[in-house]
Amino acid sequence: MKDMLQSPTRRQLLSMIGKTAGATAMYQAMTTLGFASESTFKESMDLEGAPPGASIVILGAGLGGLTAAYELRKAGYDVKVLEYQNRGGGRCWSLNGGEKYTELGGEEVTCDFEEGNYLNGGPWRLPSHHYAVFHYCKKFGVELQPFIQTNDRAYLHRTDHFNGVPQRLGDVKNDIRGHVSELLSKSVNVGGLDRSVNSEDKEKLLEGLRGWGVLDKDFRYRASNATTKHRGFSVFPGGGLMPNAQPSKPLPISEILSSGMWADIYGEHTTYGHQPTMFQPVGGMEKIGEAFTRECADMIEFNAKVTKIHQDDSGVTVNYVDSNNPEGPMKTVRADWCICNIPLTVLTQIDINVSKPMKQAMAAVPYDTSYKVGLEFKRRFWEEDEWIYGGVTYTDMPIRQISYPSGNMFKDGTGVLLGAYGFGATSYKFNTLTPQERINVALAYGKYIHPQYPKEFRSGTSVVWHRIPWTLGCYGIWSDSSRDQHYDTLCSIDNRIVLTGEHCSHIPAWLEGAILSGLDTANRLHKKAKMLG
């Protein structure tokens, strides 16, 4: 047994590596299911020749609806947009100091951040291959800056491993590489690869492993001056008569494996959609929503709560009321066509006469839940004390992630961390908490990673998406089977009504999916309208 632990067989080694690849494959499967897929956008749309006098009513001023509104008006349509809220942009939303909102249950969520600080309640980063977003940002003058997704100075944390002490992401990555290199070199040296490589290749492979894994002359991964170039020091080099530099000590492979940190390292942030370089709007994600709203402002009626959508062979009638006074007088708008950007969680509760297959498709897409807690601190201690500039820390505690701001680095004064962010079962637990309790929980857990929390905390705010009245969830969830059965129907033109939004895309949960859906919907509806004259 001892020999087996020290020098695994080729089968055992390949099995271990296969398990790691399996974890990566599991996360990569998210792309297959439609998460963070590459955009199909290639060039801007140039519709023209709308039938004379043709009109369209668009329900919801999210990015899918506003993209369609912007492009169809250019084609010559009379477009009117009804929006439930007092702003456009939908889930492209930032909470700023002085703002507040009321969630389901009547709790008021406030944001008391200092001016310039914000929490992106919904989307918060843009993959470099989401070309449609960048097209409109450039067109509408939205300034972008790099978003730092991966930072080796951030932490990996496991409550029951390493005595609960957070480990630098880069240290764990380098230790995994070193330990795997050592195990591979042992496999090469015991002849396990003799059948596939000749002696010259074997020597080259060993030399490559020694350099890649920073192994010593005996092909062991140990603390040394060489490893400090990759994982850093326990005592850093100084000047004059400061203490001599000391190499940091690698973590044992057994504890790295048992901690499950491999899943974080080769998990979400290494998938195609999260690879560098990512971007964010300067000043908050709402800047994108504000830009679309500005371009479409004269078409939008805010505070319009849709109560009924009725179509016939010649057009669509939409009933709505003032969302601030739902008991007030009923209003009506009539148009030749209707594009509906209302989230399915809300739409399925509205009186709408569409075909039975369309109603089944609308009901077949559940929405995931998600939570975010933003924490404002008196100073940017993560930069000043721990040299962390951007990036994400991962933990097995309920807060799941801590993300460090990619903007305003080295700024004196306050700063905001995304102090908790996650999905699934933990999110349902956050949904049961009051706004203040969410902040308290984020602080209580976060102090195990950053002890500065209690002393430096200033204020906090939060978003739990299943308690947001105008969306009742975070984004549409598709499985392979539900997409095969219902997706084409959901996206089809049902007589005079067609849906749009991230739920009508192969990139749900991303702005790109909403925009591409809006473009595709506008294009198909324009073709049908022209055909019918």
Are residues 142 and 81 part of one domain?
no
Pick 199 or 15 by higher pLDDT.
Answer: 199
Are residues 379 and 359 part of one domain?
no
- Name the domain boundary from 439, 467, 495: 467
Q: What residues make up the domain containing 174?
A: 2-32+159-259
What angle is formed at CA 52 by the lines to CA 50 and CA 53, rounded to 5 degrees?
105
CA distance 492 to 103: 33
Asked whether the beta carbons of 71 and 65 are under 8 A apart, the reply is no
| Residues 282-331 pLDDT 10s | 999 999 999 999 999 999 999 999 999 999 999 999 999 999 999 999 99
Per-residue model confidence (pLDDT) at position 196: 59
Within 13 Å, how many C-alpha atoms sit on residue 493's CB side?
A: 17
Within 13 Å, how many C-alpha atoms sit on residue 179's CB side?
A: 22
DSSP 3-state assignment of 261?
helix
Are residues 353 and 388 part of one domain?
no
**DSSP 8-class letter at 485:** I
- Name the domain boundary from 420, 445, 467: 467
| CATH classification of the domain holding 172 | 1.20.1440.240
DSSP bridge partners of 338: 57, 497
| Residues 426-440 pLDDT 10s | 899 999 999 999 999
CA distance 112 to 110: 6
Residue 98 lies in a domain: no
Going by pLDDT thresholds of 50, 70 and 90, the confidence category of residue 2 is very low
Are residues 389 and 281 part of one domain?
yes
Residue 47 lies in a domain: no
Structure tokens, 286: 């709402």
Question: Using N-to-C axis directions, what is the helix angle for 63-74 and 511-532, rounded to 10°?
Answer: 40
Are residues 462 and 373 part of one domain?
yes
Residue 404 lies in a domain: yes
CA distance 422 to 406: 20
The model's pTM: 0.86
Amino acid in position 491? C
Going by pLDDT thresholds of 50, 70 and 90, the confidence category of residue 268 is low
For residue 495, what are the contacts with CB-CB under 8 A and spacing of at least 6? 311, 313, 354, 355
Are residues 217 and 80 part of one domain?
no
Are residues 384 and 281 part of one domain?
yes
Are residues 201 and 295 part of one domain?
no
Residue 197 predicted with pLDDT over 70: no
| Residues 43-102 pLDDT 10s | 678 899 999 999 999 999 999 999 999 999 999 999 999 999 999 999 999 999 999 999
Over the chain, what is the mean pLDDT? 89
Largest pairwise CA distance in the chain: 88
| Residues 119-165 pLDDT 10s | 999 999 999 999 999 999 999 999 999 999 999 999 999 999 999 99
Are residues 316 and 335 part of one domain?
yes
Are residues 379 and 360 part of one domain?
no
Per-residue model confidence (pLDDT) at position 12: 40
